[in-house]
Amino acid sequence: MKRKSIIEKILFTFLLTIVLVTPTKVFAVTYGEILDDLSKAEADLRNNQNSINNTQGKINTDSASIRKLQEEIKAMQDEAVKLQQEIADSNAEIDNKKQQTKSVIAYLQMSQGENAYLDYVFGSNSITDVVYRMSVVEQITEYNDQVVKELEALIKANEERKIELAAREKESETKIQNLNSEIAKLNKTKVSLLSESPSLEDEVKAKKIIAQSYKEQGCKNRSDVIGRDCATTASNAIFQRPIRKGYVTSFTGYRHICTAKRGCYYNFHKGIDLGSPDGRNTPIYSIGTGQIQKKWSDQDGALNVTIYYNLRGTYYSATYAHLDRYANIYDGMKVTPDTIIGYMGATGNVTGIHLHLEVYPCRLWGDNQCGNWNSYSSFAENMFKNGYKGSESVISFPSGTYRYWYSR
C-alpha cells in the first residue's frame, strides 16, 4: 500500500468532510460527532500500538523461556555424560575389587577339605603371624564386598537418574516446540497489527485535519451542526471519489435508458455513472476504509464489487459495477482509500465504458432492510424519495455532467 504525501493528504482530507445535506436534517452531523470520530480513530491507533507492544512482550517472554529450557537441556546432557562416566568408572572398580577378592579367597577352600588356605599362610613364622594373616584376608574380603555393593547401588542410582534426565529432556523439548509454535502465531499476529498501523495513522492524521478545519470555520460547541451552525461552505463528502480524474455521465434518479441487451425502458438508476479519459486503464479505488463483502457477477455478466464501510456505527454499502477486471482483491479483504479494487470497464448491460457506483446506508445481503437485491432496490428508491441522492449525498462530485476533476 503506497503512502500519500502530506500535500496529497491535506488535499483529499478536505474532501472527507461531513455536513447537512438536506433541509430535513436527516443526514446532519454535529461537530461533536466529528470530534468523536477523531477520538475513536486515536483510540483504535493506541489499541493497535498497545497490541503490538503486548504481542512483542509475549514473544520476548517465550523466547526467554526457550533460552532457559535450552540451557537446562544442556545442563542435563552434561550431567548424563558425567553419570555415564561414573557408571563406567564404577564398573571398572567393581571388576578390580572382585579380582582382589579372588586373590585372597583361597581360605574358602578349607570348607571343602583343601589346603589352599594353608598355602596362603604357609610363610607364617608363628601362630601369631598366621592369625594376623587370616584376619587380613577376612577384612579385605568384607571390605571389597561392601565396596562392590556400594558401587552397584551407585550404578543403579545413576541409571535411574539418566532415565529421569532423558524424560525431563524430552519434556523440555516438547515445551520448546510448543513455545516456537506460539511465537510463530504471535509473529503472524504482530505482522497483521503492523500492517494496520499505517492506515490507522493516516486515518488519525486525516481526521485531525478535518477537526481543525471545522474549528477554523467557527465550530466550537459539540452540538453545532456542520453546514448550518458553522462550516457553512464545506463539502458534503464523507467518502472520496473512486477515480483520480473523470466526469459524471449520469446521476442517481429516474431515467429513460436504451441498451443493446434490453432495449429502451424507464427505471430508477440507483447509482452515479462516471467516465474517464483513460478508459479501461482507469484504476478504481475504494472510497474509504472498509472490508470487501463480495466480488460478484450479475445476470448480464457485469463484474462487480460490494464493500462495507462503518462510519460512527452506521454501515454503508458501496457497489462498484461494470469493472473490466479485478485488482488483487478477495472477499473479506480490508481496504483503504489507497486500495485499487479494479479497473473501469463495460461488462454487463452497458452502453459504454464507465463506472456505476452505488452508496447506501445499509448492508447489501447483510441486514434486514437490504437482505436481498429486491429489498435493497426498494430501500434505495425509498431513500431517494426521502431526499437521499445516492452517491452524490456522501461524495463530492461536480454539479453537472461532463465536468472534469483531477483529484480525488
* CATH code (residue 364): 2.70.70.10
The per-residue pLDDT for range 331-378, each reduced to its tens digit, is 999 998 889 999 999 999 888 999 999 999 999 999 989 999 999 999
Flag whether 25 is in a domain. Answer: no
Whether residues 191 and 151 share a domain: the answer is yes
Average pLDDT over residues 86-101: 81
Phi and psi at 253, nearest 5°, equal 145, -175
Residue 324 pLDDT grade (very low, low, confident, very high; cuts 50, 70, 90): very high
Q: 298 falls in which pLDDT band (50, 70, 90)? A: very high
Residue at a domain's end among 212, 236, 260: 236
Mean pLDDT of 25-34: 68
Residues 6+ apart with CB under 8 A from 389: 21, 251, 252, 253
The kind and range of the H/E element at 60 are: helix 31-104
Say yes or no to pLDDT of 22 above 70: no
Domain that holds residue 206: 35-236
Short-list 345, 332, 337, 383, CA closest to 237: 337
- The pLDDT of residue 189 is 93
Q: Is the same domain home to 213 and 337?
A: no
Indicate whether 91 and 52 sit together in one domain. yes
Q: Which residues contact 68 (CB under 8 A, 6 or more apart)?
A: none
Residue 12 — very low, low, confident or very high, per pLDDT cuts 50/70/90? Answer: very low
The 10s digit of each residue's pLDDT in 197-218 is 888 888 888 778 778 877 887 8
* pLDDT value of position 133: 60
Percent of the chain with pLDDT over 70: 80
What average pLDDT does range 62-79 have in this prediction? 93
Contact between 244 and 74 (Cβ < 8 Å) = no
Q: Based on the fold, state whether residues 227 and 296 are members of the same structural domain.
A: no
pLDDT-wise least confident of 98-102, 177-181, 316-320: 98-102
Q: Does residue 69 form part of some domain? A: yes
Give pLDDT tens digits for 231-285. Answer: 665 455 578 899 999 999 999 998 876 666 666 767 899 999 999 999 999 999 9
Q: Are 239 and 397 in contact (CB under 8 A)?
A: no
Q: How many domains does the chain have?
A: 2
Domain-ending residue, one of 236, 259, 290: 236
Please report which confidence band the pLDDT of residue 21 belongs to, taking 50, 70 and 90 as the band edges: very low
Same domain membership, residue 124 and residue 157: yes
Q: Which of 236, 267, 290 lies at the terminal end of a domain, its last residue?
A: 236
DSSP conformation letters of 172-204: HHHHHHHHHHHHHHHHHHHHHHHHHHHHHHHHH
What's the number of CA atoms in the CB half-sphere (13 Å) around residue 385? 7
| Domain presence at residue 324 | yes
Compute the average pLDDT of residues 42-54: 94
Q: Check: CB of residue 186 under 8 Å from CB of residue 62.
A: yes
Cα-Cα end-to-end distance for the chain: 17
Dist CA 269 CA 358 (whole Å):
9
**pLDDT for residue 144 is more than 70:** yes
What DSSP element (H or E) covers 12? helix 6-13
Q: Is residue 109 predicted with pLDDT exceeding 50?
A: no
Average model confidence (pLDDT) for the chain? 82
Residue whose C-alpha cell reads 523461556 in the numeric block: 65
114 pLDDT exceeds 70? no
Q: Is the pLDDT of residue 134 over 80?
A: no
Report the distance separating Cα 195 and Cα 175, nearest Å: 30
Q: What pLDDT was estimated at residue 233?
A: 52
Question: What's the whole-number mean pLDDT along residues 311-337?
Answer: 92
What's the pLDDT at 266? 73
Dump pLDDT digits (tens) for 275-295. Answer: 999 999 999 999 988 999 999
Three-state secondary-structure class, residue 133? helix
Q: Is residue 8 part of a domain?
A: no
